Amino acid sequence: MALPERQTDIGPPHYEQFLPPVIKKNYAKWKYHEVLDPGTMVHVAESGDEIYTVRVASPRILATETIYEICDLADKYCDGYLRFTSRNNIEFLISDKSKIDPLKKELKDRKYTVGGIGPRISNVVHTQGWVHCHSACTDASGLVKAMMDELYEYFTEKELPNKVRLAVACCVNMCGAVHCSDIALVALHTKIPVVDNDKVGKMCEIPTVVGSCPTTAIRPNPKEKSITINYDKCMYCGNCFTVCPPISIKDAERDGVAIVVGGKICSLRSDPKFSKLAIPFFYNEPPRWPKIVAAVKNILDVYARNARKHERVGEWIERVGWEEFFKLTGIEFTHQHIDDFTFMRDTLRTSAAFKWA
Amino acid sequence: MSLKHKTPMLDELEKGPWPSFVTEMKKAAKKSPMAEDGLGQLEKSYQTKLGYWKHGGIVGVLGYGGGVIGRYSDLPEEFPEVAHFHTIRINQPSGWYYTTKALREICEIWDRYGSGLTNMHGSTGDLVLLGTNTESLEPLFAEYSSRGWDLGGSGSCLRTPSCCLGQSRCEWANYDTMDVIYNLTQEYQDELHRPAFAYKFKIKAAGCACDCVASIARSDCAIIGTWKGDILIDQAEVKKYADGGMNIQDEIVGMCPTECVSYDGKELKINNPQCNRCMHCIAKMTRALRPSGERGATICIGSKAPIVVGSLLSWVVVPFIKVEAPYTELKELIARIIEWWDDNAKPRERIGELIEVKGMRPFLEAIGVPPQPQQVKEPRKDPFIFFKDEDFEKIYTKDKY
């Protein structure tokens, strides 16, 4: 079959052709919105027009077969319009109010998960993991699935003090806002890379490899036409492996996962914040990582019991203090919790005022 | 139909109520031998706790340097169908809106040439097609581009810009995020498809400080909507919130970071000059409160994930800029920002890291933005102050401090 003629540099199609008529008509003229239930909201325009949104979870990895099914539903109930959110949810956009309940019923019958709106857990931003990434120290999709099976009711129903944004990154590259999430998992290497001198000399540009190291742990090794790594300086970031694949950093027993907490990206009430280390290391326990899931559940439960309404995880911890956070959660405080990299000066305590556990 | 590989570990992840990615991979595997071997290799990773993907090698479509990410199996004998298993990034439409007609068309093409696996969507915003071989790249590109779809960015280029849905469905958006991103993406097609930068550069547009696209944490250049006028109050709606059980004193007044809201049990008041426009009260009382007056955006620069020298959040560089079509002022500013970075950055150095190395002053001078207190949390603490000769000319001719 002959191929159609290719075009280049055309950019994405114009968004306007994908907007439901009620959105086109009321563009920039919305007045307010209301969350009607954990999976439904209504946006009301100055004109009085309404658009209803039903939000559905997705595992982010979708087979085309599922997308066809989603399209069938959108045709039946939404005149063929739908969208996705920045957290990988599917949103059905409904102009005809009478179609909401039938859509929700059919979604339920077909085992879709409706929810994620309001002071709850929305979908989990995550990375490719073992499914498709070269630098993964864990499987992001598997961790998300195991974690969300446990926290399911916080998506579909139960309220929390505020939104809790979860994220999973399968290495420190963090293709996702893990570094600014309420509770996040980040996978780590913890072992000095192994250098294959023969291949490094043939495949890699030595100055680039030397330059890739943030702690200047890498020096040229002219004798071997390769590089050497200073064991005391390496903090296992894996950047050298990314620029030079024969520097191997994977290790089945020493790759694992840390939990970080207290980040946020919005400016509501307090400034955006980085997530901070709560638990430095769990070894990988596929397929369900039970220790990690239990630790996340514990942190979430302690937050839910102790935070004031509208406080995000980080705001609650800042109010009560990190020493209180470690006490309430029962998490052990270790050498790893004390920053010895770029943020050390900002993070050591410089006051004699603190709480006792 | 039974699948080629046994997957006892992954089968565990089909149990439980949350939607299962394993179920998705199995659906694809029934139609595609590529997806079937991908599933087999993933099961092996679960058994051994190691990944088996290799990166590197140059693959792509003619005339482009990005948009396709080369991916190869480390175990091509065991899983021959995924010996090549490349990722394709398709530039998403602004706001991730689709018609079913368009989505079906994308999927039908993908079913013909690829694994049938997708990400809706990738972290940067692209529609991601997971897994195809090198031979299929040109046919796929011809099929997609002839129907109006182009590739997204990868490598050291302007990555695919993305935005929140803005004024299309949100009353808080202070400018038209979807239109700005469409325009910027079109403007920068060459920089997007032909990586010529020192490293990646990301642009994200958020309509307000709620920042639903995490622009402040995930983009070198964040365009965050803001306003200059007062917050308008509908007292009748305030009363409805109070009658509905909202504790306005605790939930609104007590949580205002600048203590500019007061409530006497009847009337809500806002001391507008003291408001820092954090969005808390507006987000909690959406029917009663809304911004007014001049609209625009704050430009924040520099955020990134930890690689290489630690995470950064973006810094306020331009406290307020008008964002109105045809966006000339914004486009010229972004062009100056990118030009300074491109002229000065070492390989794999993001703009935030470059500003740390060079200092904020050379950057601000290069892009023509004056120093302003809105750019800092507090002024410098150390006395190691740089001066230029021209600073003294100004100091000596000043009447006052």
pLDDT band at B12 (very low <50, low <70, confident <90, very high): very high
pLDDT above 90 covers a percentage of chain A that reads: 93
Question: What pLDDT is attached to residue B55?
Answer: 81
DSSP lists the bridge partners of residue A257 as: A187, A282
How far is the C-alpha of B383 from the C-alpha of B360, rounded, in Å? 16
- Closest chain B C-alpha to A46 CA, distance in angstroms: 10
Which among B12, B25, B176 is the nearest to A287, CB-wise?
Answer: B12
B165–A83: do the CB atoms touch at under 8 Å? Answer: yes
pLDDT band for A316, please (50, 70, 90 cuts): very high
Question: At residue A1, does pLDDT exceed 70?
Answer: no
- Nearest chain B residue to A215 by CA: give it: B309
Q: Give the helix/strand (H/E) hosting A52.
A: strand A50-56
Q: What are residue A41's phi and psi, to 5 degrees?
A: -140, 160
**Residue of A63, A70, A169 lying closest to B117 (CB–CB):** A63
The arithmetic mean of pLDDT across residues A136-145, rounded, is: 97
Q: Which residues contact A302 (CB under 8 A, 6 or more apart)?
A: A328, A329
Cβ separation B217–A268 shorter than 8 A: no
Pairing of the two strands A183-188 and A166-169: parallel
Answer whether residue B1 shows pLDDT above 60.
no
Supply the pLDDT for residue A357: 65
Domains of chain B: 8-146 (3.30.70.2500), 162-227+296-396 (3.30.413.10), 231-291 (3.30.70.20)
CB within 8 Å: A288 and B24: no
According to the model, what pLDDT value does residue B78 have?
Answer: 97
Residue pLDDT, tens place only, A54-73: 999 999 999 999 999 999 99
| Residues in CB range of A198: below 8 A, 6 or more apart | A226
Using an 8 Å CB-CB cutoff, list chain B residues near A134. 51, 53-55, 71
Whether A327 shows a pLDDT value over 60: the answer reads yes
Q: What is the DSSP letter of B280?
A: H
Over 90: is that where the pLDDT of B347 sits? Answer: no
- CB-nearest to B182 from A15, A139, A284 is A15
Question: Which of A69, A143, A268, A271 is most worth mutating to test chain B (most B CB atoms within 10 A of its CB)?
Answer: A268
Residues 16-75, chain A: which have Cβ within 8 Å of B? Answer: 17-19, 23, 27-28, 30-34, 43, 51, 53, 57-68, 70-72, 74-75
Q: Once rounded to an integer, what is the mean pLDDT over residues B240-260? A: 97
Half-sphere exposure at residue A203, Cβ-oriented, CA atoms within 13 angstroms? 17
What does the alpha-carbon distance between residue B177 and residue B179 come to, in Å, rounded to a whole number? 6
Side chain identity at A85, as an amino acid letter?
Answer: T
Q: Could you give the CA distance from residue B115 to residue B110 in angstroms, rounded to a whole number?
A: 7
In A, minimum Cα distance to B31 occurs at A65
| Each residue's pLDDT tens digit, B321-342 | 999 999 999 999 999 999 999 9
Partner residue facing A287 (CB), from B9, B121, B147: B9
Residue with tokens 């499987």: A139
Q: Quick check: A6 and B141 CB within 8 A?
A: yes
**pLDDT-based confidence at B243, cuts 50/70/90?**
very high
A100/chain B closest Cα distance in angstroms:
18
Which residue from B17, B169, B185 is facing A43, i.e. has the nearest CB?
A: B169
Cα–Cα separations (whole angstroms), residue B52 to A327, B79, B126, B175, B234: 40, 10, 24, 45, 59
Please judge whether B193 and A8 are an interchain contact, meaning their C-beta atoms are less than 8 angstroms apart: yes
Residue A182 with chain B: CB contacts under 8 Å: none
Residue in this structure with the two tokens 């509208």, named with its chain if needed: A310
| Minimal Cβ distance to A30: which of B171, B251, B306 | B171
Report all structural domains of chain A as residue ranges with CATH numbers, in order of start: 15-109 (3.30.70.3340), 125-186+255-347 (3.30.413.10), 194-248 (3.30.70.20)
What is the average per-residue pLDDT within B65-78? 96
